[in-house]
Amino acid sequence: MTNSRGTYYSKREKEGFYNMAKKQGFRARSYFKLEQIDVKYNIIKDNLLIIDLGCAPGGWLEYVDNKVRNGKIVGIDLLEVKKQKEFSKNVQIIEDDFNNITDYKLGDFDLVLSDMAPEFCGDSVVDRGRTHKLNLKTLEFCRDHLKFGGNLVFKSFEGDDLESVRNAARKMFQEVKEYKPKSSDKKSAEVFEICLFRVN
Ligand SMILES: C[S@@+](CC[C@H](N)C(=O)[O-])C[C@H]1O[C@@H](n2cnc3c(N)ncnc32)[C@H](O)[C@@H]1O
């Protein structure tokens, strides 16, 4: 990250990313998480077919839509994404379970993004376990729908099973890195796995 970017983010950190998102009219603070992941790993580019799993309320979609001039972005969520008309024609939003994606005959993706989270019950052991299961489902999704050479970013939580999730990812991708953006709450166990170049 360059110095000016560093200063930019420290300023944002001080002001609070939540307030910044509100001030700048973004749908969610998560906008900045994806922005920071992209600044570091340069994964979002023109002419890609991108899918955003668990896209509501639309913060990540908004970031990708702002960055990509030519390309197709599919967002899918169990919940409705409000004000779909605010997105460009590059964006298609589907209200459904990501496991049903085959029904939509969209072809294989160049990039899979997943900020999906299961329903939390408040018991951190159970919640982390559910998250790790969802992570494994996301890897299965990639086995069926991500092109070879494509990339995946998914959210997880520190916990007992995370290492086995990472190992499963390492079998499919040339490189698997972990990153916690500044905009992610320091107290939260949330981390992002950046899986580069599908090989298997
Ligand atoms: C943290 S939110 C995503 C925030 C989003 N990235 C943004 O920037 O606005 C997690 C989302 O995952 C969705 N989700 C969880 N399980 C899902 C599933 N099986 N299929 C589709 N979406 C799912 C939830 O409905 C929820 O909206």
Please state whether the peptide bond connecting residue 181 to the residue before it is cis, i.e. omega within 30 degrees of 0.
no
Nearest to 153 by CA among 133, 177, 134, 186: 177
* CA 150 – CA 195 distance, rounded (Å): 9
Count the alpha carbons within 13 Å of 198 in the hemisphere toward its beta carbon. Answer: 21
Between the CA of 4 and the centroid of ligand 1 the distance, in Å, is: 32
Domains and CATH numbers, the chain: 28-198 (3.40.50.150)
pLDDT class for 1, splitting at 50, 70, 90? very low
Q: From 90, 25, 106, 19, select the one nearest 59 (Cα to Cα).
A: 25
- Ligand 1 environment, Cβ below 6 A: 27-28, 30, 54-60, 76-79, 97-98, 115-118
pLDDT exceeds cutoff 60 at 12 = no
Report pLDDT digits (tens) over 76-105: 999 999 987 799 999 999 999 999 999 999
Ligand 1 center to 80 CA (angstroms) = 10
pTM for the structure as a whole: 0.93
- Note if 85 is an active site residue: no
CA–CA distance, 166 with 39 (Å, rounded to integer) = 22
Q: 122-149 pLDDT, tens per residue?
A: 999 999 999 999 999 999 999 999 999 9
pLDDT, tens only, 23-55: 888 888 999 999 999 999 999 999 999 999 999
> What is the spatial order of strands in the sheet that 190-198 belongs to?
91-95, 72-77, 49-53, 109-114, 146-157, 190-198, 173-179
Question: At a CB cut-off of 8 Å and minimum separation 6, what does 78 contact?
Answer: 56, 95, 96, 97
Of 40, 54, 26, which Cα lies nearest the Cα of 114? Answer: 54
C-alpha–C-alpha distance, residues 176 and 70, integer Å: 27
Instruction: Using the mean position of ligand 1's atoms as its centre, give its distance from the Cα of residue 163 in Å.
Output: 23
Listed residue (14, 40, 43) closest to 146, CA to CA: 43
User: Which of 77, 94, 138 gets mutated to test ligand 1 (max ligand atoms within 8 A of its CB)?
Assistant: 77
